[in-house]
């Protein structure tokens, strides 16, 4: 209940719509992660504000009115303007962000249907429908784009490391863990001192910090262990108590657990200094999983290492560049290619000369 009240204080529009407040309270009582609840509240509040502005009753809104909301999201100017790095221009939301905004709206209408307040959901979801004409596939309200994740080239990675070399030891060990163990931002920032097993060079990623709620044990390399030893010695000068591994050293939050947003700011600052604006807190995870694929790891092994619920999720993270694929093709085709060329040249050498 307390969490719901805080959300209504943050977005007063939620308190003005009884069904919206009740819907959020249900998800909160079901124990959804605070960040998930916060994202749901933000997305639904944005939709409700548009409904209030346009004089639309959200309970009875139709597909046309929801489509108008989607159009606004895709055309509104980006607050980051020319600094936007995800889109090709400074207008509208990225496709993935747009999908995130629509999820709470769709779930809200699912709730209204369950409560008997509506008969249908104006926010469609793409799904396969047996017996449906034209292939049996029903499109969602917004097509879902699947783009390849960006990963740095070898030179870009070296440029980043050149900048990181001058960073405090905490930031260096965090970046090493982020790549070495393919950690998500929340998994990294939520590590505790008792999650470490230096004797076996492994760390425990607790279920409550993961996206899929799956606990896993992952290894890290000896070089990362050396950095970790140095950081633990440094951490002891800040706090000797066990608990969160990475601590803030700012004057305002000295000794407090490092927040997700602080780590994002660190990575953003480092990325811009290395002239790599597309580098993010998730890039190291993409890069690690891609490197494992390059080394020949089997897909299900990479999925287990990454903590994915299915290998399908893993495939969206692994990005082999055109150069990687060309090298694989060349290695696989070398023998048969040589055979074909050999046969071709032999055939040419036995062919009679052309007559004029």
3-state class percentages of the chain: helix first, strand second, coil last, to nearest 5 = 55, 5, 35
Sheet architecture: strand order including 202-205:
196-197, 202-205, 216-219
3-state secondary structure of 6: helix
DSSP β-bridge partners for residue 97? none
Between 295 and 104, whose confidence is greater?
104
Task: Give all domains of the chain, ordered by start, each with its CATH number.
Answer: 2-138 (1.10.150.130), 154-317 (1.10.443.10)
Residue 228 pLDDT > 60: yes
* Residue (of 193, 175, 171) closest to 285 by Cα position: 175
Q: 321: which 2 tokens? A: 């560049």
Q: How does strand 137-138 pair with strand 127-128?
A: antiparallel
Rounded to an integer, the average pLDDT of 197-221 is: 90
Quick one: residue 8, left, alpha or beta (phi over 0 = left, psi -120 to 50 = alpha)?
A: alpha
Q: Over pLDDT 90: what percentage of the chain?
A: 45
Taking only the tens place, the pLDDT of each residue in 238-294 is 999 999 999 999 999 999 999 999 999 999 999 999 999 999 999 999 899 888 888
C-alpha to C-alpha distance for 14 and 21, rounded to whole angstroms: 6
DSSP β-bridge partners for residue 217? 204
C-alpha to C-alpha distance for 59 and 272, rounded to whole angstroms: 45
C-alpha to C-alpha distance for 301 and 31, rounded to whole angstroms: 30
C-alpha to C-alpha distance for 254 and 280, rounded to whole angstroms: 25
Taking only the tens place, the pLDDT of each residue in 314-351 is 777 666 555 555 565 555 556 665 666 666 666 555 54
Phi, then psi, of 298 in degrees rounded to 5: -70, 150
pTM: 0.65
Give Rg (Cα) of the chain.
26
* Residue (of 184, 2, 11) closest to 104 by Cα position: 11
C-alpha to C-alpha distance for 92 and 71, rounded to whole angstroms: 9
pLDDT grade for 309, boundaries at 50, 70 and 90: confident
Neighbours of 46 (CB within 10 A): 18
C-alpha to C-alpha distance for 213 and 337, rounded to whole angstroms: 48
Q: 219: which 2 tokens? A: 């290894």
DSSP-derived secondary structure letter, 355: P
C-alpha to C-alpha distance for 294 and 320, rounded to whole angstroms: 8
Q: How many helices (H) and strands (E) does the chain have?
A: 15, 5
C-alpha to C-alpha distance for 74 and 143, rounded to whole angstroms: 12
pLDDT at 99: 77
């Amino acid at each position: 209940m307390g969490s719901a009240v805080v959300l209504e204080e943050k977005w007063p529009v939620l308190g003005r719509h009884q069904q919206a407040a009740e819907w959020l309270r249900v998800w909160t009582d079901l124990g959804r992660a605070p960040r998930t609840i916060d994202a749901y509240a933000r997305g639904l509040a944005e939709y409700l504000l548009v409904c209030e502005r346009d004089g639309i009753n959200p309970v009875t809104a139709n597909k046309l009115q929801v489509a108008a909301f989607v159009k606004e999201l895709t055309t509104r100017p980006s607050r980051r303007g020319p600094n936007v790095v995800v889109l090709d221009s400074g207008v509208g939301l990225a496709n993935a962000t747009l999908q995130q905004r629509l999820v709470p709206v769709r779930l809200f209408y699912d709730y209204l249907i369950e409560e008997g307040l509506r008969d249908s959901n104006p926010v469609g979801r793409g799904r396969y429908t047996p017996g449906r004409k034209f292939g049996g596939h029903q499109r969602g309200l917004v097509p879902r784009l699947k783009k390849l994740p960006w990963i740095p080239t070898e030179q870009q990675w070296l440029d980043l490391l050149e900048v990181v070399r001058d960073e405090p030891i905490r930031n260096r060990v965090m970046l090493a863990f982020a790549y070495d163990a393919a950690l998500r931002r929340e998994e990294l920032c939520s590590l505790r001192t008792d999650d470490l097993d230096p004797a076996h060079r492994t760390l425990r990623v607790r279920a409550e910090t993961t996206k899929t709620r799956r606990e896993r044990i992952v290894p890290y390399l000896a070089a990362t262990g050396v950095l970790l030893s140095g950081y633990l010695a440094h951490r002891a000068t800040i706090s000797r108590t066990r608990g969160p591994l990475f601590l803030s050293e700012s004057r305002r939050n000295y000794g407090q657990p490092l927040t997700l947003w602080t780590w994002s700011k660190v990575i953003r600052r480092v990325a811009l200094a290395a002239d790599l604006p597309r580098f993010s807190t998730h890039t190291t995870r993409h890069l690690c999983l891609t490197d494992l694929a390059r080394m020949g790891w089997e897909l299900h092994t990479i999925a287990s290492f990454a903590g994915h619920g299915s290998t399908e999720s893993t495939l969206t993270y692994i990005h082999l560049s055109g150069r990687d694929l060309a090298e694989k093709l060349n290695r696989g085709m070398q023998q048969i290619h040589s055979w074909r060329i050999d046969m071709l040249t032999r055939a040419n050498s036995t062919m009679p000369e052309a007559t004029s």
